[in-house]
Chains A and B, each alone.
Chain A
Amino acid sequence: MKWGRTEITWGFCLAAAWLNYLDRQGIFPLALAACVLHEVGHYAAIRCLGGDIKLIRLTAIGAEMELEAPLDYCREGVAALAGPGVNLLAALVLCRWPWGRTFSGLNLALGCFNLMPVSVMDGGRAMACTLSLLAGPGLAEAVGRVMDRAVTAAMLVCGALLAGARQNFTMLLVALWLASHFCRRRKER
């Protein structure tokens, strides 16, 4: 489905419907709102830095933006950090009121999670941009590759251990979700 510059895949609708069905605590609308804030942060930063969005694609494993024209490393790094930045800002503002604390906590968790140093996350992208500026894109790519593999492997191992020993599959699911990103990216290449 395409609506203006936004493309919504069937997978996204299916995942959203499924999660909404499973949600018993009313977290899903809050998480969706936090994701929208995150996205708005990226969008606003890209526009402010002189870029433009060609397409926003919502898929079952997340959202991604395609730019009309590539940004330089510095601006790309700033744009990458803008999403978590908006979440952290929202968390700081909303925690002042008791009614906003759940949403505040959710924003903080979302912001921190996105700062993970893997290339499919904002933290990894910002790290790659910084390294590219300081030591060149070759080193940044090599470091990024090592980080991707190390973090995903560590999470898979920890996830499998926790799932086996304690029947807690949360870490394993996050690790698989991360791995699916890398698989998808490799397929695209």
Chain B
Amino acid sequence: MYNQTAQHQSYRRDSRTAPGRYGRRRDDGTRRQERTRLIQLLVCLALFLAAFVGKGAFPRRLEEARSSLLSLLTADTDFRAAFSRIGESLAGEDALLGTLGDFCVEVFGPSQPRQEEQAVTPQPQFTSLLTAERAFLSGEPDIQDRSDHYLEGAVERSGLRISAGTANEAQAEPEPQPEEEPAVAAVGVVLLKSDYSGRELPEGYTMDQLSLGGLETVTPVLGHINSTYGYRDHPISGKYLFHGGVDIGGQTGEPIRAFAAGTVEYVGENDSYGLYIQLDHGNGIKSFYAHCRSLCVKKGQSVALGEKIGEVGSSGAATGPHLHLELKCAGLHLDPLYYIDSLSNQ
């Protein structure tokens, strides 16, 4: 929060004091000042030693403390991106007042996901449909289970009710076609509960597979997974940190496709992520792409499913060309590997 603590500037009128007022008290004042400075020096030394020793002896713990403190102070706001958006608005790309309002909401507003925003109407799902159907059918469901499974959504929508007897009487009739009325969980509903039992996850991250509703998706870059979602030793700093996405290896200049249809929420550049972009796919689903060599879409632009949005690169803190892909749903980071294909998985 240095932009709010160090930025205040003021000037004040001279509060002149007659030199005589100091006189005899000057020695006392100087002594007190020296004592204060000595205490300040000791405090600085103690803090320096604490940081120095802590970094050497407990690097992970110190890094965790730093992360927690930073999350607490800044609510994980991407200030760089937020300031860039204001600059872009000023350049005439957006309404300035609206962007300033968004900035205030982003900085001061809620840092936790709003659960009430997750309530959406169930829609057909494409990406995980086959997996869900395979799991259901492998359980050898009987006719009642099948009718419940496939017709539940349609029945609720039409206001009709089918009793068990009716279903039994209709045994001779053709079975309901799964493709016609698939039962799909609402966005944010847990499809697969992870049995992850490792170190505690940072706030806002989950190992579970959540439903993306009816969102049709593609794999942005098909390549080998260089680094998976979860805790890992950072390839550059060597620190054991949580990796909030997957690193997909690719060739420099290889096209990056939009994970799903949506709108470009923001683009930006910093030393860590390099050139990055976030797409908003609606219903709280977002995809984030980093380390790009170039981008070919602008903020606010609509993109189609699979449309080229940029090129793979190694901008920012990267050891080679790759795409860092993050997926977010209802304010939670998800493991993208649930939703994309990769060469290592084939």
Say whether B41 contacts A10, CB under 8 Å. Answer: yes
Q: Are B8 and A63 in contact (CB under 8 A)?
A: yes
With beta carbons under 8 angstroms apart, the residue of A11, A80, A114 that contacts B7 is A114
B137: Cβ under 8 A from any A Cβ: no
When each residue 157-172 of chain A gets 1 if its CB lies under 8 Å from chain B and 0 otherwise, what string results? 0100010011111110
Q: Which of A159-189 contact B (CB under 8 A)?
A: 162, 165-171, 173-174, 177, 181
Chain A residues with Cβ below 8 Å from B174 are none
Contacting pair A169 B72 (CB below 8 A): yes
Let me know if B3 and A110 touch, CB within 8 A. yes
Q: Tell me, yes or no, whether B195 is within 8 Å of chain A by CB.
A: no
Give every chain A residue within 8 A of B72 (Cβ-Cβ).
Answer: 167, 169
Question: Are A168 and B8 in touch, CB under 8 angstroms?
Answer: no
B interface footprint on A10-22 (CB within 8 Å = 1, 0 otherwise): 1101111001011
Residues from chain A with Cβ under 8 Å of B47 in the complex: 14
Which one, A13, A27, A66, A71, contacts B2 given CB within 8 A?
A27
Contact of B110 among A38, A109, A168, A177 (CB under 8 A): A168
The reply on A152 being an interface residue by CB < 8 A is no
User: Which chain B residues (65-110) contact chain A, with CB distance < 8 Å?
Assistant: 66, 69-70, 72-75, 77-80, 82-88, 90-91, 100, 103, 107-110
Per a CB cutoff under 8 Å, which of B7, B40, B74, B268 touches A38? B7
A109: B residues at CB distance < 8 A: 3, 83, 86, 103
A59 to B40, CA, bound (A): 13
Q: Is residue A156 contacting chain B, with contact meaning CB distance below 8 A?
A: no
For A80, the chain B residues whose CB sits under 8 A away are: 11
Q: Determine how close the nearest CB of chain A comes to the CB of B49; give it in whole angstroms.
A: 14
Least distance between B298 CB and chain A CB atoms (Å): 11
| CB–CB A24/B272 < 8 A | yes
The reply to whether A103 and B87 form a contact with Cβ atoms under 8 Å apart is yes
Please tell me which one of the listed residues B10, B107, B270 contacts residue A65 in the complex, with CB atoms under 8 A apart.
Answer: B10
Residue of B nearest to A79 (CB): B11
Q: Are A167 and B9 in contact (CB under 8 A)?
A: no
- Please tell me if the beta carbons of A22 and B73 are within 8 angstroms of each other in the complex: yes
Q: For A121, list chain B residues within 8 Å (CB).
A: 8, 10
CB-CB under 8 A from B53, the residues of chain A are none
Contacts of A23 in B (CB 8 A): 2
The verdict on B271 contacting chain A, using a C-beta distance below 8 Å, is yes
Q: Known: A168-B111, A181-B8. Contact between A69 and B272, CB under 8 A?
A: no
User: In the bound complex, do residue A26 and residue B3 qualify as a contact, i.e. CB atoms below 8 Å apart?
Assistant: no
A22, B84: Cβ atoms closer than 8 Å: no
Q: Which residues of B from 2 to 60 have beta carbons under 8 Å from A?
A: 2-15, 37, 40-41, 43-44, 47, 51
A39 and B108 within 8 A (CB): no
**What residues on B are CB-neighbors of A110 within 8 Å?**
3, 7
- A125–B7 contact, CB under 8 A? no
Q: Known contacts A24-B70, A27-B80, A113-B7; can you find 7 more A-B pairs with CB under 8 A? A: A25-B79, A79-B11, A96-B91, A109-B86, A121-B10, A169-B72, A181-B8
Binding site for B on A (CB under 8 A): 10-11, 13-16, 19, 21-28, 30-32, 34-35, 38-39, 42, 46, 53-54, 60-71, 76, 79-80, 83, 91-92, 94-96, 100-106, 108-110, 112-114, 120-122, 125, 158, 162, 165-171, 173-174, 177, 181
Please provide the 10 A-B residue pairs with the shortest distance between their CB atoms, ordered closest to farther: A101-B87, A105-B86, A65-B11, A105-B83, A62-B8, A19-B2, A104-B87, A105-B87, A10-B40, A95-B90
- List 10 A–B pairs whose Cβ atoms lie within 8 Å, in order of A's numbering: A26-B271, A35-B6, A70-B13, A101-B84, A110-B7, A121-B8, A166-B112, A168-B109, A170-B73, A170-B74
